[in-house]
């Protein structure tokens, strides 16, 4: 399997892109280590193909730093600590930095506990969830990660027409003896980022994943405008959206409710409530048995017969990992809207734009 790209598309060296993003963040006032974490997580989003949750987020992050809605200094506060479970007040510090720190703390505590859970309330936005998974699965560990934004209401409950909660993504990293299974799904039919991008371009979604205020399914992202009164449908759409709605409520319980801060607090600041859990298979049925089972199931699924002329079954994360490998080798392709949005920031902050691999600026 190979991923096709337009030969006319400009590509960038991954390390240069990471350095560019980090320089913008430090020039805007973020400490070096925090800027590095944010830039690396955003770049990982683009490497994996999540182009709405990679460097596309950087202008909004820079604006948040400038407006002090993302805090640049300080440490997370400890709300509760029971050894195997920990709750932080993130104080709206950079989300990628907070999540990476939480993962590091959880992995350290796995020496004593078979499962470690961390909730983070009042984190700033954390980017692409899939970007955090592979480093954990490489250690033979299982990771669960989900988040919600108590200030965001764009998704409607099944059967409704008005927005009540956020897209509430749910991710999991599962090791095998080969490539890991990297699950990253939204509990809504589509994401805010894609809707915003397509609405700005005057384009439509690939399916009727939204509902207008009259209750009709639509592919027009402009119905999310406040004056239009539309909403994103839960995963499953008009027919099976009760499943996505149920998953969304599950994520809300793990993030906002467990963390002790959510929609009932009438939050208005862009951020995230985060649930993170890391499990060590060795402390259950044994890591060898776990890897044997998941590897067997992976092969069984991939060897499933498919209709003539159709591609073989793909595991979650398989295409993303291939895309990551190819982009690290031959250059990162940014969505055409991303670099132009960063040019004004680079000019203001006096940061040099990255050169494309073909030498163009």
pLDDT digits (tens, 9 = 90+) for 281-310: 999 999 999 999 999 999 999 999 999 999
Low-confidence ranges of the chain (pLDDT < 50): 1-8
Domains, in order of start, for the chain: 8-73+331-361 (1.10.1530.10), 85-182+244-314 (3.30.1370.60), 190-232 (3.30.60.50)
Report the alpha-carbon distance of residue 96 to residue 35 in Å, rounded: 9
Query: In the structure encoding, which two tokens stand for residue 164, read together?
Result: 């009540």
State the DSSP string of 131-155. Answer: GGTHHHHTTT-EEEEEEE-TT---B
Residue 140 CA: distances (Å) to CA of 130, 288, 292, 297, 317: 16, 9, 12, 17, 16
- Asked if residues 61 and 70 have their Cβ atoms less than 8 Å apart, the reply is yes
Helix (H) and strand (E) counts in the chain? 11, 12
pLDDT digits (tens, 9 = 90+) for 201-228: 999 999 999 999 999 999 999 999 877 8
Query: In the structure encoding, which two tokens stand for residue 104, read together?
Result: 């590091």
pLDDT digits (tens, 9 = 90+) for 228-261: 889 999 999 999 999 999 999 999 999 999 999 9
pLDDT at 358: 82
pLDDT at 3: 45
pLDDT at 5: 46
pLDDT at 361: 64
- pTM of the shown model: 0.95
Query: In the structure encoding, which two tokens stand for residue 197, read together?
Result: 């991008």
Report the alpha-carbon distance of residue 304 to residue 233 in Å, rounded: 31
Report the alpha-carbon distance of residue 334 to residue 219 in Å, rounded: 25
Q: Return the axis-axis angle of helices 58-66 and 14-27, rounded to nearest 10°.
A: 20
The proportion of the chain whose per-residue pLDDT surpasses 90, expressed as a percent, equals 95
The average confidence (pLDDT) of the chain is: 96
């Amino acid at each position: 399997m190979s991923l096709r790209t337009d030969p006319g598309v400009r590509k960038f060296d991954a390390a240069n892109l990471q350095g560019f993003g980090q320089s913008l963040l430090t020039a805007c006032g973020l400490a070096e280590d925090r800027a590095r974490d944010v830039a690396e997580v955003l770049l990982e989003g683009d490497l994996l193909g999540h182009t709405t949750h990679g460097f596309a987020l950087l202008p909004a992050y820079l604006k948040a730093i400038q407006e002090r809605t993302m805090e640049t200094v300080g440490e997370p506060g400890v709300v509760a600590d029971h050894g195997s479970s920990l709750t932080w007040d993130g104080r709206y510090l950079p989300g990628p930095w907070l999540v990476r720190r939480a993962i590091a703390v959880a992995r350290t505590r796995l020496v004593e506990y078979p499962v470690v859970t961390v909730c983070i309330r009042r984190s700033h936005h954390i980017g692409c969830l899939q970007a955090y998974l592979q480093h954990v699965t490489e250690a033979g560990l299982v990771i669960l990660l989900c988040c919600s934004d108590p200030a965001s209401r764009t998704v409607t409950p099944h059967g409704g027409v008005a927005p009540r909660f956020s897209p509430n993504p749910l991710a999991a990293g599962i090791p095998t003896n080969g490539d890991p299974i990297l699950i990253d799904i939204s509990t809504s039919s589509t994401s805010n980022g894609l809707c915003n991008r397509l609405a700005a371009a005057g384009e439509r979604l690939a399916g009727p994943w939204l509902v207008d205020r009259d209750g009709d399914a639509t592919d027009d992202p402009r119905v999310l405008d406040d004056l239009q009164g539309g909403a994103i449908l839960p995963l499953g759409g008009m027919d099976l959206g009760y499943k996505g709605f149920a998953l969304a409520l599950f994520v809300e319980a793990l993030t906002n409710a467990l963390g002790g801060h959510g929609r009932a607090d009438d939050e208005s600041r862009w951020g995230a409530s985060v649930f993170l859990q890391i499990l060590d298979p060795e402390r259950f049925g044994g890591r060898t048995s776990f890897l044997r089972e998941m590897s067997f199931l992976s092969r069984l699924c991939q060897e499933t017969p498919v209709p003539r002329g159709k591609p073989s079954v793909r595991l979650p994360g398989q295409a993303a990992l291939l895309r990551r490998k190819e982009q690290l080798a031959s250059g990162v392709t940014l969505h055409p809207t991303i670099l132009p949005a960063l040019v004004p920031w680079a000019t203001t902050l006096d940061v040099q734009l990255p050169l494309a691999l073909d030498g163009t600026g």
